[in-house]
Amino acid sequence: QCSPSQLLPHIMKVSSLAIFLAAAGTAGAFTIGVQPAASGLSASARSPAASAFSLEESSTALHGRRRKGSKKRTFGKVKLNSDTTSGAAKDITESEVRALFSLWNSALATGDSRIVAKRYAKTSILLPTVSDTPRTDFASIKDYFDAFLLKQPQGKILEGDIRIGDGWAQDAGVYEFTMGATGDVVKARYTYTYVFENNSWKIAHHHSSVMPEGIDIATPITEDEVRGLFHLWNDALATEDPDAVAKRYAKEGVLLPTVSDVPRTDYDSIKDYFVNFLQKKPQGVILESNTMIGTNWCQDAGIYEFDLLGDKVKARYSFIYKFEDGEWKIAHHHSSVMPEAQLAGGSSKSEEIQKPIEDDEVRALFQLWNGALATEDPDTVAQRYSKTPCLLPTVSDTPRTDYDSIKSYFVDFLQKKPQGVILESYVTSGADWCMDDGIYEFTMGATGDKVKARYSFVYTLQDGEWKIAHHHSSQMPEEIVPKAMLEEA
């Protein structure tokens, strides 16, 4: 038997061996792809350094696979981290992304701006179609839809492109709205970016814009620059070249000349007028001018005076310019002699000049046209115009210069069941023509809408009957002119 002091060195050796074997076994448990040798321990298991290396390598390999999986994206669904909680984003398909538009559209159908605004995320931004102001919170988004929902909009997507990422989805393309209040159909471009918030997909970003090819971007012009356009025309007169003068007019320009009864509505007829007029070597100066500026159009109206081979002649003028192909051109030019000089002369020749129609009779000609509208027959309306007419409609960019094109315009317009009244009228009469200018207002029987517009009717005596030779109708400019231009003016 051995004493305790003698046994102690042997016990320590056995304990050290047990500790070493236990450590080696633990390391082997974390070693990927290492099997114990037949003798019971692998070379790595017998080496603490090797075991430590294998353990570190295993942890890195596992961690690397997790990172690779968490970053992987596939088109059409969201890949989520393994530690996703119940509040994190869930998988979503392309059809489900598209369905998010239907939720927003259904909110529009409620007519309640609060319900629509709740479709947006807590930190969202709305760049609306018809407002310059970005909306970045619930109150401002609701404020936009307070007005927009009055139009009773309902939309559908015409074309779209969907992208899906980690916790977000995007739908961008072209949609079309039908305004239930008016029947108008409007296309626009859209971008929705959705995020998963409080267990539902919400709109974090919504950008809606009008179709850019239909935008009439205003070209800025000052009142002095408008008056300066007269000098371009006057300089063309100085060349004594009728081609140079005719080129100052727009492609579909209208000229109502001072000394011709015939409206000129194309390049050849305008050039034809100036072939004779330029023989008088005219040079003009503006005596009185009144300008107006709109979106890519401007007007200068007043009195000018011409030197015609030494004779001085005053006349009234109206120029309406439009921005065409990068240049301001004359879309409408009406020049007329001073009527009081004709009517107040003392010679026998002047005494022969009489007003063939009274002012009230001129205004009554409007009622003939308005009565034709009431028939809702576009042929009846078109027959109120002369053989060589020009109609510049309120809601069409295209001048109508013959029977068929005028009838075509009224096919659509008469569907609104319009009936008009004159609010302000200014009448001028000549020997075989008369003019009525002012403001009229229409009530659209189909919708009940009321619309004001400015008008100019020029009537000529044709086959014993007064017909419309020129009709220009335009929206009230202060309703369509950009605010900045109004402030400048």
* pLDDT for 262 beyond 70: yes
pLDDT of 348: 40
pLDDT of 195: 95
* pLDDT for 89 beyond 70: no
| CA distances, 230 to each of 39, 315, 327, 348, 472 (Å) | 110, 14, 14, 36, 21
* pLDDT for 109 beyond 50: yes
pLDDT, mean of residues 353-375: 86
Query: What whole-number percentage of the chain has pLDDT above 90?
Result: 54
481 — pLDDT class (breaks 50, 70, 90): very low
How far, in Å, CA of 106 to CA of 120, rounded? 14
More confident residue, 164 or 345: 164
* pLDDT for 45 beyond 90: no
21 — pLDDT class (breaks 50, 70, 90): very low
pLDDT of 426: 87
Task: Show the DSSP H helices in 414-463 as ranges.
Answer: none
343 — pLDDT class (breaks 50, 70, 90): low
Residue 75 sits at φ, ψ, to 5 deg, of -65, 115
35 — pLDDT class (breaks 50, 70, 90): very low
pLDDT of 88: 53
pLDDT of 217: 62
pLDDT of 12: 47
The full length of the chain comes to 489
pLDDT of 356: 64
User: Considering only CA atoms, which of 263, 336, 279 is closest in space to residue 304?
Assistant: 336
Q: % helix / strand / coil in the chain, to the nearest 5?
A: 35, 35, 30
pLDDT of 41: 34
DSSP, res 177: E
* pLDDT for 11 beyond 50: no
